[in-house]
C-alpha cells in the first residue's frame, strides 16, 4: 500500500535538489530505481516498468514502477504496477520481462523472499519464485501466480536463479533465467512452455567458465534474422586496464541457437555493451517499426567504495539510460540513441576547434572527421574526453564524486556523439560501436564546451530542451 505521507515528505526532499535531477532521462520521482523491466510496445503505447523502491534512496524491497510514452521521449509517471505484497515476493518484485499474446500483456518476474537469519545470500538464504502476471491493458492485474516455485528449480544452481526473459520461437514459448551454479559460475538456463503456465526445464542455454563471472543476471534474447543476440549482466568478471572495469558488467554475445539441443552457440567473443561507469541490466524489446530497442539502468550495484552518489542525500538515486536502437553489423552490436531525441534539439551551432563556447546544460554534440587522431573535448565542469589515436580516455574531476578515469582501446574513430544531461554523459563512438555512459555531478555554472584537435573536424552542437 502506498504510504502517501512518506512519499509527500520524500518529494519535498527531492525538490531541494536544484542541480542533478535529470532533464530528459527517466528517473524515480522519489527513492531508488534500478533495472528496466517488462519493456513493451502495446496498444499503441510504450510501457516502461522498472525496479523501484519509492521510500528509500538506497534501495530495498523493490516494486515495479511504471512509465508510459507515446514517443519514447516524453514519459508519464503511472501508478506503481506491482508491489512486494504477496508471500511469494515479499522481499522484492525482482526483474522480469513482458510478452504480448492474444491481445494481453503477460509478465514474468522473480518473486524474492529472504529467509530470516541470512545476511550473506551467497549460495542460499533466499527463495526465488517465477511469477506470471496477466494484464488486459498494462495497468490492471487480472492474475498473478507462481509458475515455477523455488523448490522446483533443478539442483546445481544455488539459490540464485532469476530475471525471466520470455519470448516465442518455433510456435513455443521459451524462458531464460540467469543463474549462479553451486560451483560459482554463471549460467543461463532454458525452459519451454505451450501455454505460459506449465514450464519444462531443458538445461543450460549457455554455461560460463571460471573467468566469466560468478553470477549472470538479466538474460535477454533477440532474434536479428541471420544472427541472434544474447545479452546478460555477469557479476565478477575480472577486467584489465581497458575493459570490464566495473565490478559488474553488461555485455552481449552474437551467435545462433540450436533449438533441438536448446543451446546458444556463440560465433563471437563476449563484448561489453558499455565502457562507462554506469550501465547495467539492459533489456530489449521490438517496437512498432520493427526496431530492436535497448534500455539499460544508468547505475551500478555494489559500486566502488570511493564513490558516493550525492543525490542520495536528496532522497533519490539513479535513472535509466536513453533508449538505443541496436543492430548487428560487422560481427558487432551497434547501439545508436533513437532518432526521436532529435525532437529536443534547438538551433544547431557549428563549433570551431580551439575555441570555448557557452553551452546549455542539456546538449547534444556531434563530431565527425576522417580517422580522428589527437582530440580533446571539455564536456562538463571538469569532465574531459581525450583520444590519442589509440586510447580513448574519459576523466572526471571533482564532479565525478570519487570516480576518476575510464579508458578504452579503439583502433580508429570517425564519429563521436555526446548527450549531456544535468547529471549524466552518454558518449557514442563510431555510430555506437563503443559507448561510455556515466553519471557526473557538475555545478550549473560555467557551462562551456571546447574541442581541441590537430586536424579538421566537423563539430555541431545543439541545446536540448527538457521533457
Query: What positions carry a catalytic annotation?
Result: 35
Find the shortest distance in angstroms from Cβ 14 to ligand FRU. 21
Stretch of residues binding ligand FRU (CB under 6 A), selected from 91-99, 188-196, 197-205, 459-467: 91-99
Residue 234 C-beta: closest distance to ligand FRU, Å: 11
Q: Which stretch binds ligand FRU (CB under 6 A): 90-98, 142-150, 313-321, 419-427?
A: 90-98
217 counts as binding ligand FRU under rule CB under 6 A: yes
246 binds ligand FRU (CB under 6 A): no
In the complex, the smallest distance separating the C-beta of residue 303 from ligand FRU, rounded to whole angstroms, is 12
Please say which residue, 299 or 420, places its beta carbon nearer to ligand FRU: 299
Dihedral (Cα; 250, 251, 257, 259), 10-degree rounding: -10
CB of 24 to ligand FRU, least distance (A): 23
Which residue of 132, 144, 162, 439 would you call a contact of ligand FRU, by CB under 6 A? 162
Cβ of residue 37: shortest distance to ligand FRU, in angstroms? 8
Q: Work out which of 22, 30, 69, 110 binds ligand FRU, going by CB under 6 A.
A: 110
Cα–Cα–Cα angle for 255, 257, 260, nearest 5°?
Answer: 160
Binds ligand FRU (CB under 6 A): choice among 22, 30, 69, 95: 95
Q: Would you say 201 and 179 are in contact if contact means Cβ atoms under 8 Å apart?
A: no
CB of 32 to ligand FRU, least distance (A): 9
- Give residues 266-295 in contact with ligand FRU (rule: CB under 6 A): 280-281
Q: How far is the CB of 192 from ligand FRU (least distance, A)?
A: 22
Q: Which is nearer to ligand FRU, 62 or 335 (CB)?
A: 62
Should residue 51 be labelled a site residue for ligand FRU when binding is judged by CB under 6 A?
yes
180 forms part of the interface with ligand FRU (CB under 6 A): no
Residue 438 makes contact with ligand FRU by CB under 6 A? no
Task: Give yes or no for residue 34 binding ligand FRU (CB under 6 A).
Answer: yes
In 3D, which of 149, 150, 152 has the Cα closest to residue 160?
A: 150
Residue 35, interface with ligand FRU (CB under 6 A)?
yes
Task: For ligand FRU, give the closer residue by CB, 35 or 272.
Answer: 35
Stretch that binds ligand FRU, among 92-100, 253-261, 345-353, 390-398 (CB under 6 A): 92-100
Q: Which is nearer to ligand FRU, 110 or 245 (CB)?
A: 110
| Distance separating the N- and C-terminal Cα atoms of the chain | 29
**3-class SS string, the chain:** CCCHHHHHHHHHHHHCCCCCCCCCCCCCCCEEEEEEEEEEEECCEEEEEEEEECCCCCCCCCEEEEEEECCCCCEEECCCCECCCCCCCCCCEEEEEEEEECCEEEEEEEEEEECCCCCCCCCCCEEEEEEEEEECCCCCCCEEEEEECHHHCCCCCCCCEEEEEEEEECCEEEEEEEEECCCCCEEEEEEEECCCCCCEEEEEEEECCHHHCCEEEEEEEEEECCEEEEEEEEECCCCECCECCCCECCEEEEEEEECCCCEEEECCCCEECCCCCCCEEEEEEECCCCCEEEEEEECCCCCCCCCCCHHHHHCEECEECCCEEEEEECCEEEEEECHHHHHHECCCEEECCCCEEECCCCEEEEEEEEEECEEEEEEECCEEEEEECCEEEEECCHHHCCCCEEEEECCCEEEEEEEEECCEEEEEECCCCEEEEEECCCCCCCCEEEEEECCCCEEEEEEECCC
Contact call for residue 62 and ligand FRU (CB under 6 A)? yes
Q: Which is nearer to ligand FRU, 262 or 301 (CB)?
A: 301
364 makes contact with ligand FRU (CB under 6 A): no
> CB under 6 A: which stretch of 88-96, 197-205, 307-315, 427-435 binds ligand FRU?
88-96
Least distance CB 188 / ligand FRU (angstroms): 12
Q: Give, in order, the Cα–Cα distances in Å from 272 to each of 161, 234, 303.
A: 22, 10, 18
Residue with cell 571539455: 378
**Which of 98, 131, 218, 413 contacts ligand FRU by CB under 6 A?**
218
Q: Which stretch binds ligand FRU (CB under 6 A): 89-97, 308-316, 354-362, 416-424?
A: 89-97
Identify the CA nearest to 72 among candidates 136, 138, 25: 25
Smallest separation (angstroms) from ligand FRU to the CB of 58: 12
Nearer to ligand FRU, 111 or 420 (CB): 111
Q: How many residues bind ligand FRU (CB under 6 A)?
A: 15
Binding interface with ligand FRU (CB under 6 A): 34-35, 51, 62, 92, 94-95, 110, 162-163, 217-218, 280-281, 301
Amino acid at each position: 500500500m502506498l504510504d502517501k505521507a512518506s512519499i509527500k515528505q520524500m518529494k519535498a526532499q527531492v525538490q531541494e535538489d536544484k542541480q542533478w535531477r535529470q532533464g530528459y532521462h527517466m528517473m524515480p520521482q522519489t527513492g531508488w530505481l534500478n533495472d528496466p523491466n517488462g519493456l513493451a510496445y502495446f496498444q499503441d503505447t510504450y510501457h516502461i516498468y522498472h525496479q523501484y523502491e519509492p521510500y528509500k534512496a538506497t534501495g530495498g524491497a523493490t516494486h515495479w514502477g511504471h512509465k508510459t510514452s507515446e514517443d519514447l521521449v516524453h514519459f508519464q509517471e503511472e501508478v506503481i504496477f506491482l508491489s512486494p505484497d504477496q508471500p511469494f515476493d515479499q522481499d522484492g518484485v525482482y526483474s522480469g520481462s513482458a510478452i504480448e499474446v492474444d491481445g494481453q500483456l503477460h509478465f514474468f518476474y522473480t518473486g524474492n523472499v529472504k529467509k530470516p537469519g541470512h545476511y550473506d545470500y551467497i549460495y542460499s538464504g533466499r527463495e526465488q519464485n517465477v511469477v506470471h502476471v496477466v494484464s488486459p491493458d498494462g495497468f490492471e492485474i487480472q492474475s498473478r501466480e507462481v509458475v515455477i516455485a523455488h523448490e522446483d528449480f533443478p539442483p546445481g544452481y544455488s539459490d540464485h536463479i532469476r530475471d525471466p526473459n520470455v519470448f516465442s520461437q518455433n510456435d513455443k514459448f521459451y524462458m531464460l533465467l540467469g543463474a549462479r551454479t553451486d560451483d560459482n559460475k554463471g549460467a543461463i538456463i532454458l525452459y519451454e512452455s505451450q501455454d505460459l503456465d506449465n514450464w519444462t526445464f531443458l538445461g543450460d542455454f549457455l554455461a560460463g567458465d571460471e573467468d566469466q563471472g560468478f553470477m549472470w543476471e538479466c538474460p535477454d534474447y533477440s532474434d536479428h534474422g541471420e544472427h541472434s543476440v544474447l545479452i546478460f549482466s555477469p557479476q565478477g568478471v575480472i577486467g584489465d586496464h581497458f575493459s570490464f572495469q566495473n565490478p559488474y558488467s553488461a555485455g552481449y554475445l552474437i551467435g545462433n541457437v540450436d533449438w533441438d539441443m536448446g543451446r546458444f552457440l556463440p560465433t563471437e567473443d563476449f563484448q561489453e555493451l558499455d565502457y562507462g561507469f554506469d550501465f547495467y541490466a539492459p533489456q530489449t524489446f521490438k517496437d512498432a517499426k520493427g526496431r530492436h530497442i535497448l534500455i539499460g539502468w544508468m547505475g551500478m550495484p555494489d559500486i566502488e567504495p570511493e564513490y558516493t552518489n550525492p543525490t542520495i542525500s536528496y532522497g533519490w538515486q539513479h535513472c535509466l539510460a536513453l533508449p538505443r536502437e541496436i543492430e548487428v553489423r560487422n560481427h558487432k552490436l551497434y547501439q545508436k540513441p533513437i532518432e526521436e531525441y532529435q525532437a529536443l534539439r534547438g538551433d544547431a551551432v557549428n563549433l570551431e576547434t580551439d575555441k570555448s563556447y557557452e553551452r546549455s546544460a542539456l546538449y547534444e554534440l556531434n563530431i565527425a572527421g576522417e580517422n580522428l587522431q589527437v582530440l580533446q573535448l571539455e564536456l562538463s565542469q571538469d569532465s574531459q574526453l581525450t583520444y590519442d589515436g589509440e586510447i580513448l580516455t574519459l576523466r572526471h574531476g571533482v564532479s565525478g564524486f570519487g570516480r576518476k578515469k575510464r579508458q578504452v582501446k579503439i583502433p580508429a574513430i570517425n564519429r563521436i556523439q555526446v548527450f549531456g544531461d544535468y547529471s549524466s554523459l552518454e558518449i557514442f563512438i563510431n555510430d555506437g560501436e563503443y559507448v561510455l555512459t556515466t553519471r557526473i555531478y557538475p555545478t550549473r555554472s560555467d557551462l562551456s564546451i571546447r574541442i581541441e584537435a590537430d586536424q579538421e573536424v566537423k563539430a555541431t552542437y545543439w541545446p536540448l530542451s527538457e521533457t
